[in-house]
Structure 1
């Protein structure tokens, strides 16, 4: 009976257990965001990391390789975190993914800081507020409707491959600019991912997988933040 209870999804648990799971998941998400901010700040203090990030972002195919590695790592850590029952593995995957995200974000954050100084406006703060507002709104939709958004997985997968294809086209064909509408489309895709991940947290995860749930939410949140920043930069 104990083994059976351990395999129950969160949706089948009592209200107190569900609330405890949600609190743990969002607490770990908050810690992940805080760790990201701290690590990102430290990375930006190292000229070598900033210069390397800028060179790779402006290097065309090299940035495409970085994005490919990033997509593979995202799928890998999420899969390992979900399948593994070892909380140590869950924590390690979340920590490693936060560090990877911080590295990927270095050139974008650096550019945003420079542009903010030129425009005398805080792009990062504006983008963060917009991102958190969208995240909160989408999370509320998932919780209030209690709908299973697992059907979005195929849409997200197709959208991700389409986006990667457009990035490849933009990389190898110099005159092909992705532009503002690509970022808007990616915001829509990230929003779908947030609905999907929140729905999984409500309906799919087991009681001891709160770290894995926070990892999925963090990945979707950072994807949304990346393209919200990109939209602000394109104005």
Structure 2
């Protein structure tokens, strides 16, 4: 009888501990995500104020992937937070030239605000779906892997052929990819110990939001003939 009692109580305790751990990771992730997004807005504003008109593509890739690598190497230490702000600050700075270019358009300000609003609503909606339905979106992992390969190839083709329709398709693909990544990452935190490090979880969600905003802004620009 005692064996049966201990056998039934243990899974309940483990489930409670797992749920508490997931809630803690979620709280820390969303808090850090909010701070990094705010910091990115500041660095983007700094780039605009400095009059930065163009970001060298090689500088972008070296800075982005170099700092991303640093975040992953230091994620389990206090240096991880500094690396996180360095990465998100750099990514925000790279938005400066893009936003500056849109601000020169007659309706550029409206396009930017619409893209921001759509990004925020999409993120909140997808997060709510993952948190409230408790559905396991781990099946999206294979889709994300395949989607990343397809999008990289499409981006290369877009740079070579400069076809507006292809650019629109790539942007739409990134919207779907970023949306799936938000669902997948949130689900990983909720349903399993797939992500217990809130720094890595923050970076994953940040990159998805960044791609979502850029892609929506591009789509709005193309559709408005700008």
Question: Taking structure 2 as the reference length, what is the TM-score of the superposition?
Answer: 0.79
Deviations 1:128-172 (A, max 9, x none): 111111111111111123233233223212212211211212222
1:28-177 correspondence to structure 2 within 5 Å: 28-47=32-51, 50-53=52-55, 56=56, 63=57, 65=58, 68-69=61-62, 72-73=65-66, 76-77=69-70, 79-80=72-73, 84-86=75-77, 88-115=78-105, 118-119=106-107, 122-174=110-162
Is residue 210 of structure 2 the alignment partner of residue 210 of structure 1? no
Q: Unpaired runs of 5+ in structure 2?
A: 1-13
Quick one: structure 1 residues 162 and 75, their matched pair in 2 at CA, closer, same or farther if it must change by over 3 Å?
farther
1:160-199 correspondence to structure 2 within 5 Å: 160-174=148-162, 178-199=166-187
Runs of 4 or more consecutive aligned structure 1 residues displaced over 6 Å after TM superposition: none
Kindly state the Cα deviation for residue 69 of structure 1 after the two structures are TM-superposed: 4.1
Does the Cα contact within 8 Å between 2:47 and 2:97 map onto a contact in 1?
Answer: no
Kindly state the Cα deviation for residue 51 of structure 1 after the two structures are TM-superposed: 2.8
Quick one: structure 1 residues 153 and 14, their matched pair in 2 at CA, closer, same or farther if it must change by over 3 Å?
closer
Quick one: structure 1 residues 22 and 46, their matched pair in 2 at CA, closer, same or farther if it must change by over 3 Å?
same
Kindly state the Cα deviation for residue 230 of structure 1 after the two structures are TM-superposed: 0.9
CA distance in 2 between partners of 1:232 and 1:180 (Å): 10
Quick one: structure 1 residues 78 and 139, their matched pair in 2 at CA, closer, same or farther if it must change by over 3 Å?
farther
Name the count of aligned residue pairs.
208
Alignment-derived partner of residue 6 in structure 2: none
Kindly state the Cα deviation for residue 224 of structure 1 after the two structures are TM-superposed: 0.7
CA distance in 2 between partners of 1:66 and 1:165 (Å): 21
Does the Cα contact within 8 Å between 1:194 and 1:217 map onto a contact in 2?
Answer: yes
Does the Cα contact within 8 Å between 2:43 and 2:92 map onto a contact in 1?
Answer: yes
Deviations 1:75-108 (A, max 9, x none): 6356436xx421x132023112112212332232
CA distance in 2 between partners of 1:126 and 1:176 (Å): 21
Quick one: higher RCO (CA 8 Å, sep 6+), 1 or 2?
Answer: 1
Kindly state the Cα deviation for residue 205 of structure 1 after the two structures are TM-superposed: 2.4
RMSD: 2.7
CA distance in 2 between partners of 1:173 and 1:149 (Å): 35
Kindly state the Cα deviation for residue 120 of structure 1 after the two structures are TM-superposed: 7.0
Q: Unpaired runs of 5+ in structure 1?
A: 1-9, 57-62
Does the Cα contact within 8 Å between 1:78 and 1:216 map onto a contact in 2?
Answer: no
- Bigger Rg, which one: 2
